[in-house]
Chain A
Amino acid sequence: MVINVVKPGLSTTVQDLGRPGYYHIGIPTSGGMDMLSLAAANLAVGNPAGAAVLEAVFMGPELEFTADAVVAVTGADLPPKVNGVEQPGWESFPVKKGQVLSFGFLKAGARAYIAVSGGIDVPVVLGSRSTYTLGALGGFHGRKLQAGDVLPVGAGAGKAGRSVPAALRRMPGSPAELRMLPGLYWHRITEAAGKGFFEDTWKVAPEADRIGYRFKAGHPLEFVPREQPFGAGSDPSNIVDACYPYGSVQVPGGTEPIVLHRDAVSGGGYFMLGTVVSADMDLIGQLQPHMPTRFVKVTMEQALQARHDRKAVLDGITSALA
């Protein structure tokens, strides 16, 4: 069956759990920014956790179904409606042939995950159906959805009324707290600047997308003086162009930190302070512009504990929806 895109939303893309393995040639993993919500939506409609879904940011699309299906919407609080009748979030519901799925206004979070039983069946490119917009790769013709697009959907048989327990719906608090392991080029800033970085409350800047999230409203960072190494460039925040880890926090010019996300640029010439732990990457995908955010310094042991805790949430969702 197919879904007709009546209205595309602001920036709606096909995403799954991503295509790791090509970062060394500049192709990032892509995939849902909030992978926990993505997996939950799939499991609620009876799909494998990594089936392809639609990721809608800030504003939902309007979709016309050409056959009966089961749908679940997780992540951001973006109320789904079937022919204008509001449906619960984090719970599967039926959409009949000819009905239209639309969305109300965003109440909380930033990205909603729309899973359809059977999964969005775009071609697999380099092992994934995820969209990498910058490289025009994967997803639906390598781009965000447009009005008039016709989305193929696989065969599936989900059940309506399957709900993700409220305690397992993980969303950021306010201020949002992002746990970060200092490292990489942390030694480039002074001790006072390092202390201030963790004490400041930052705000999500308008320039926040799948490549990276920029933060503002904190104090500029003071650098440890040095003669710039050959090939690095003249600004004290420059390094010889190097790889950027997913979640790494770079601060061009020492002013506004940028946390790289699933569509990261794979490398470049700006120093990095450290890396947001893998467990908190999902939360970044749910931050709206102007959201107050703090970076919380953690040890590797705490990072691994956070990873373990996140896995426990996913396991909980899996068994609740089994």
Chain B
Amino acid sequence: MTTRYSFGGDEHIFVECDEEMSLEAFFKGLSITNALREAQIRGVTEICPANASFQVRFDPDVIAPEDMMRELKALEAVAQSAPATLDTRIIEVPVFYNDPWTHETGQRFRERHQDPTSTDIEYTARINGLDGIDGFIAAHSGAPWFVSMVGFVAGLPFLYQMTDRSRQIQSPKYLRPRTDTPRLTVGHGGCFACIYSVRGAGGYQMFGITPMPIYDPAQQTPYLRDFMCLFKPGDIVKWKPIDRAEYDHTVAEVDAGRWMPRIAPVTFSLAEFQADIDGTNARVMEALNGH
């Protein structure tokens, strides 16, 4: 895992922890960005963690780019000795898989898809060797997912499946991006899941929809009153398959301002996860039941 540094113009430094995605690369970025935040270097204006990389924005009128680069490289060594553990939280996200709205949108943009005769969920199940839609839902919702980046648009989480690489669901993006995606679509591209926080363009496969708002600029949703975006990097997500009746009920409860997501505090250790993936996942998901 070689760290690569590059200037993004005169205001950014881009740091690639690894070319390929892994939880190890994510944690390396997380520990360096944490060390950078604590170092409180004058001139640093924004720190943006991503999947296997991160970005620092700085004011070159305050700190010279070469000095900023030197400070950052010095932190890499410090950060590597930090233990890869997180005090975080697990959030249960209800998903109505194979719903009519993403299905309709998928059909509208079918000529932009790898397999125009199929649906996104059937196609992805097939190329991942899963047993149809039910097999896909079991695989998708069976293991928790790690929020490895928040961005693209406001509050959109990128999620990385917490399982060994051979069991990770992978799918290509649409051949050409759609110009429309329903708000709160659960999507997938490469090895990443996402939740579209707003309606708009998108290139990820569409598997379902959640009734749970994750971005509210008006801050009226009870659990988004403190801040308009729900997710932050390091959060863990458990998908909960729901049917149409539960979806409709949840939407009504959300609209009435009565619905709250299930969230529980949890600790995560990369070493524990590497030693026992299924055991760690079981413990993490059990936290939602108050254990």
Contact = CB atoms under 8 A, between A and B. Distances in A.
A135 B217 contact: yes
Question: Would you call the interface of chain A mostly helix, strand, loop, or mixed?
Answer: mixed
Contact of A142 (B8, B18, B50, B217): B217
A275 B8 contact: yes
A278 B200 CA distance: 28
Interface in B192-217: 192, 197-198, 200, 215, 217
Contacts of A274: 8-9
A63 interface: no
Contact of B8 (A183, A238, A268, A304): A183
A157 interface: no
The bracket for how many chain A residues form the interface is 35 or more
A234 B172 contact: yes
Contacts, number: 177
B9 A240 contact: no
B74 interface: no
A36 to B, nearest CB: 16
B173 interface: yes
B14 to A, nearest CB: 6
Given A246-B11, A300-B10, A240 B154 contact: no
B163 interface: no
Given A21-B46, A24-B49, A229-B19, A134 B154 contact: yes
A230 B191 contact: yes
Contact of A269 (B61, B165, B189, B228): B189
B11 A245 contact: yes
Given A240-B53, A246-B12, 19 more contacts: A25-B155, A125-B217, A137-B228, A183-B8, A229-B18, A229-B19, A229-B21, A230-B21, A238-B173, A241-B51, A242-B51, A243-B14, A245-B9, A247-B8, A274-B9, A275-B7, A300-B65, A307-B10, A311-B61
Interface of B: 6-12, 14, 16, 18-22, 45-55, 57, 60-61, 65-66, 149-156, 158, 165, 172-173, 189-192, 197-198, 200, 215, 217, 228-229, 231-232
Interface of A: 20-21, 23-27, 125, 132, 134-137, 142, 180-181, 183-184, 229-234, 238, 240-243, 245-248, 265-269, 272, 274-279, 300, 303-304, 307, 311
